[in-house]
Amino acid sequence: MSQPSQALQIRTSDGIVFDVCLEVAQQMGLTHSWLQSERGDLKCSDGPDDDANVMPLNRVRSDIFKLVLDWCQAVQTVDTPLEHKEMLQHQRSLFQRILTESNATDSTIFELIIAADYLNIDGLLQAGTQHVADVINGCDSVEAIRERFHIMYEGEIDE
Amino acid sequence: MATKQETEPRSTSLLQLNDDVLALIVAQLNVYQQFELTQLHSRLRSIVQSLWRTRVHSVVLQDELLCRASSRHFQAFMLALAPHLERLSCHRLDVRRLRMLSEHCLPGVSCLEWLGDDHEPRRGRVRFVDEDVRLLRRVFPSLRKLKLRGCQVTGKYLHELELLNELCLDDCQYLESQYFRDIFRQLKLRKFDIMEDCDEVNCCDLVDVQLCPTLEHIKIADYHLCMESDITQQLLRLPRLHKLSIYSKNFVFDVLARIARPSNAAAGGIKQIEGFRFSGLLHDYERFFRELSNLRQLRRLEVHGQSEEGQLQCLSDQMLCPLAAQLPELCELHLCGYQLESAAGLLQFVINCRQLRILDVTRSRCIGNAFIGRCLAVLSKQSWRTQPLELWIRQSDINPSCVQNPRYLVSDRSLRIDTKRMTPNIDYMSSVLKFSFVR
């Protein structure tokens, strides 16, 4: 008889609860720390009403967290260890795929980067910041950067 | 990523990211792009400045980096970098960019590389000339290290760079011998590199090198040794000389004979050679080792072979055994990338060189377990040995059981096998004889 897989319940800021398997959860530095400090030995999820087993994510919405989970699950499927450069390239492609599949807007991208920073997922943060750097690199003037990223002139009144 | 503004909420801005994340983004841009960001917002300026405090001590400039920089923006960019900049490397940069700085001063820059076009100048390109050396003096008053490559300088104003202590002239084919007198007399050079002058016909006469007693490291080509006169003795009499590197493709034995067998070695002032390194192809190793055997005080010997038509060059026991007998002070022996006849030649070094502590045979063939067994037998009889011999050998050349099986009695007291130092040192330039002198 197989053991039930261990899972962690994570509740996002909009109240949605996700069941996240332990291997995926441990990719997130924040959950890893939470497991160490709040839970001690991980117990299997006892049910939806067991709040002690639910990790709160007060700064991440469910739509963004879904993208984070997409990322973590895709990273986990890489079997063979990659050289550092290959890993970076793979992560960039993966990030691009997630953006394309979700029709991500700038707002989504920035929130995904903020979530990666908050959750302490180095690979996702690296891929996200590289993506933005690439977009800046594609702008052909300072004004083009300002327009692209809606950077107001300082002192300008936002109507 | 959506590109149409009408689909975006107006509040979506790069600045909604926190400073740490913005710093990560900025760090992935080139230095000129970072400068452009400083013009957008004070927060970005603050982040860039914070990054620059530790990350722009050394900057590489290329035309591609500055393709959209106007003259005014370029000057503003360099002045913004100035407080942090210590080392500047200009790779095939249009010299007109440098001349835009003629009214400015970058006092923090102590090291400058100007790497021009190597052989084929780009069409319409303006070249770096003597007047640009004078500009360097004004713009970089604290310059201590200078490398010029592919420039049209004669050397006329180099002596005006008063603080210079390292000078490298690479592929500067317009140099004139007459100006080297002032260079050697007025500059307190510690390092002088003209090895890649690459013009055997019109190369410079360095007869006045003796006027620079501060020289510690010299890199020249073989034709510099004997232009109008032989300067070998002058070189060997320089009081602080520690390293002499001589590029020689076709006259290796002649160079060795001049350096290793100086005609007035009995006279005072000739330096003792403690280290020698060579990497390249030779066709008479017997003669090579015969010349090396004159270096009786040698403590470090490195010889790196190269393959010829896919085959390693061979070293016979007959070549190695006499050499082992002539170098009693040897502490380090590196014989890398050769096909050895047998282990007998190497064993002679273990037997005769009582100071030997490193034996490096990486990339050489025909070593293996038999050598280790015989080596241990020799070492076990050397009761005077206080330190183990380190054997650097490729892991694939020995049976792992050799280092694990106690039957082989590999003990740290006698022999320490190191299979980690495997990198063939690609930094060694081929056909260079490098002599190190006792300080």
In DSSP notation, B324-343 reads HHH-TT--EEEEESEEES-S
| Residue B3 CA from chain centroid, whole number | 49
Query: How near does any CA of chain B get to the CA of A89, in Å?
Result: 14
**Structural tokens at position B328:** 């009693």
Is the CB of A150 less than 8 angstroms away from the CB of B33? no
Note which residues in 113-152 of chain A have CB less than 8 A from chain B. 113-114, 117, 125-126, 129-130, 132-133, 135-137, 140-142, 145-146, 149-152
Q: Which CATH superfamily is domain B272-439 in?
A: Ribonuclease Inhibitor (3.80.10.10)
Per-residue pLDDT of chain B (439 residues; tens, 9 = 90+): 444 444 444 456 788 899 999 999 999 999 999 999 999 999 999 999 999 999 899 999 999 889 889 999 999 999 999 999 999 999 999 999 999 999 999 999 999 999 987 665 556 678 899 999 999 999 999 999 999 999 999 999 999 999 999 999 988 888 998 999 999 999 999 999 998 765 655 577 888 999 999 999 999 988 888 766 778 888 888 999 999 999 988 888 888 888 887 554 544 556 789 999 999 888 899 999 999 998 989 999 999 988 878 888 889 999 999 999 999 999 999 999 898 888 889 999 999 999 999 999 888 886 677 788 888 888 888 887 888 888 888 766 776 666 655 554 455 567 777 776 555 555 567 889 999 998 7
CB B320 within 8 A of CB B353: no
| H/E element, B286 | helix B285-292
Q: Would residue A104 count as lying in a domain?
A: yes
B32 neighbourhood in chain A, CB within 8 Å = none
Please give the pLDDT value at position A1.
Answer: 42
Is the CB of A129 less than 8 angstroms away from the CB of B28? yes
Q: Would residue A144 count as lying in a domain?
A: no
Please give the pLDDT value at position B103.
Answer: 95
Distance CA B292, CA A139 (A): 61
- Burial of residue A120, with CB atoms counted within 10 A of its CB: 0-12 exposed, 13-18 middle, 19 or more buried: middle
Please give the pLDDT value at position B96.
Answer: 94
Q: Considering its fold, how many domains does chain A have in total?
A: 1
Query: How near does any CA of chain B get to the CA of A156, in Å?
Result: 12
Q: Would residue A146 count as lying in a domain?
A: no
Of A103, A137, A151, the CB nearest to B14: A151
Is the CB of A132 less than 8 angstroms away from the CB of B14? yes
Please give the pLDDT value at position B424.
Answer: 55
Query: How near does any CA of chain A get to the CA of B306, in Å?
Result: 29
Please tell me which residue of chain B has the smallest CA distance to A150: B13
Residue A137's SS3 state is helix
**Beta strands A17-21; A7-11: pairing state:** antiparallel
Distance CA B164, CA B144 (A): 4
CATH classification (class only), B17-41+53-201: alpha beta
Is the CB of B21 less than 8 angstroms away from the CB of A140? no
Mean pLDDT of A8-27: 89
Main-chain dihedrals φ then ψ at residue A79, nearest 5 degrees: -85, -50
Residue range A142-153, pLDDT digits in tens: 999 999 898 888
Q: Would residue A76 count as lying in a domain?
A: yes
Please give the pLDDT value at position B207.
Answer: 86
- Chain B interface, mutation test: which of A97, A102, A107, A122, most B Cβ atoms within 10 Å? A107
Note which residues in 25-64 of chain A have CB less than 8 A from chain B. none
The residue written with tokens 């957008």 in the block is B40
- Burial of residue B382, with CB atoms counted within 10 A of its CB: 0-12 exposed, 13-18 middle, 19 or more buried: middle
DSSP H helices in chain A: 22-25, 29-34, 62-76, 84-101, 106-119, 122-138, 142-148
Is the CB of B25 less than 8 angstroms away from the CB of A133? yes
Structural domain harbouring A120: 7-137
For residue B38, which of B88, B90, B73, B85 has the smallest C-alpha distance? B73
Residue B374's SS3 state is helix
Please give the pLDDT value at position A137.
Answer: 92
The predicted model scores a pTM of 0.84
Is the CB of B36 less than 8 angstroms away from the CB of A105? no
The amino acid at B333: L
CB B43 within 8 A of CB B15: yes
Query: How near does any CA of chain B get to the CA of A30, in Å?
Result: 17
Q: Would residue A1 count as lying in a domain?
A: no
Buried/exposed code over A100-119 (b: 16+ C-beta within 10 A; e: otherwise): eebebbbebbbbbbbbbbbb
Distance CA A155, CA A157 (A): 6
What distances in angstroms separate CA B105 from CA B63, B78, B109, B227, B429, one per listed residue?
21, 10, 9, 40, 36
Show the CA angle centred on residue B423, arms to residues B420 and B427, nearest 5°.
Answer: 145
B36 neighbourhood in chain A, CB within 8 Å = 142, 145
pLDDT band for position A157 (cuts 50, 70, 90): very low
- CATH code, domain carrying A85: 3.30.710.10
Instruction: List the domain boundaries for chain B.
Output: 17-41+53-201, 215-264, 272-439
Is the CB of A150 less than 8 angstroms away from the CB of B24? no
Q: Would residue A158 count as lying in a domain?
A: no
Query: How near does any CA of chain B get to the CA of A142, in Å?
Result: 6
Mean pLDDT of A84-91: 86
Q: Would residue A63 count as lying in a domain?
A: yes
Please tell me which residue of chain A has the smallest CA distance to B27: A133
Of B9, B21, B25, the CB nearest to A107: B9
Q: Would residue A147 count as lying in a domain?
A: no
Please tell me which residue of chain A has the smallest CA distance to B22: A129
Of B2, B13, B25, the CB nearest to A150: B13
Kindly give, in sequence order, each residue whose CB lies less than 8 Å from that of residue B25, ignoring residues fewer than 6 positions away.
Answer: A129, A132, A133, A136, B14, B17
The amino acid at B152: Q
A144 neighbourhood in chain B, CB within 8 Å = none
pLDDT band for position A158 (cuts 50, 70, 90): very low
Please give the pLDDT value at position B429.
Answer: 74
Is the CB of A140 less than 8 angstroms away from the CB of B68? yes
